[in-house]
Amino acid sequence: MEESGKTFEGRGGGTSNPWVSRVFIVDDHRFFTFALTSLINTQADLTVCGVGHDEATALEGIIHFNPDIVVMDVGLSTQGGVDLATAVRRFSKQIPILFVSSRQHATVPQDAKWLEPCSFVEKTQDPVDMIHGIRQTLARFRLYQSLHPTSTPNPKT
């Protein structure tokens, strides 16, 4: 999908079905994003609405699509996933983040704890664990919302 000179990969926003969660993937490894997109799009309750391969296009795509969840590589090649997550939080506190990494980063969940709600899954785990991680992060987010109501409504509602 072409938007203001930038290319966003994905289904162009996903679906209006309230039972289907829209996922935005941020990773600089195109093979991983292709494989994860293919896996997610086989699920009845999930769809990939967009993909970003660097911080600038990812943030622009997240703002444009306003996904239900962001799956983000902690070790992006330039600034890093935690910095991008901070920018996403400035845009919206209504989007949960699932951090992924090919390496065990035991300190990442603690360092990013203030970015609640967020979760962490290793890329090396079984693909089913990645789908489970997405669903679990969405469920934790819904619980978090019920325990920490905000005065700012979700722009999707």
Question: For the segment 131-149, what is each residue's pLDDT rounded down to a tens digit?
Answer: 999 999 999 888 888 887 7
Among 58, 37, 9, 59, smallest CA distance to 134 is for 37
Beta bridge partners of 21: 46
Residues 6+ apart with CB under 8 A from 137: 69, 96, 97, 98, 117, 118, 119
What is the set of domains in the chain, with CATH numbers?
A: 22-147 (3.40.50.2300)
Q: What angle, rounded to 10 degrees, do the helices at 127-147 and 30-40 form? A: 70
**pLDDT reported for residue 144:** 80
What digits encode the pLDDT tens for the residues 47-74?
Answer: 999 999 998 899 999 999 999 999 998 8
Q: What is the dihedral of CA 99, 41, 28, 123, to 10 degrees?
A: 50
For the question of whether the overall pTM of this predicted structure is more than 0.85, the answer is no
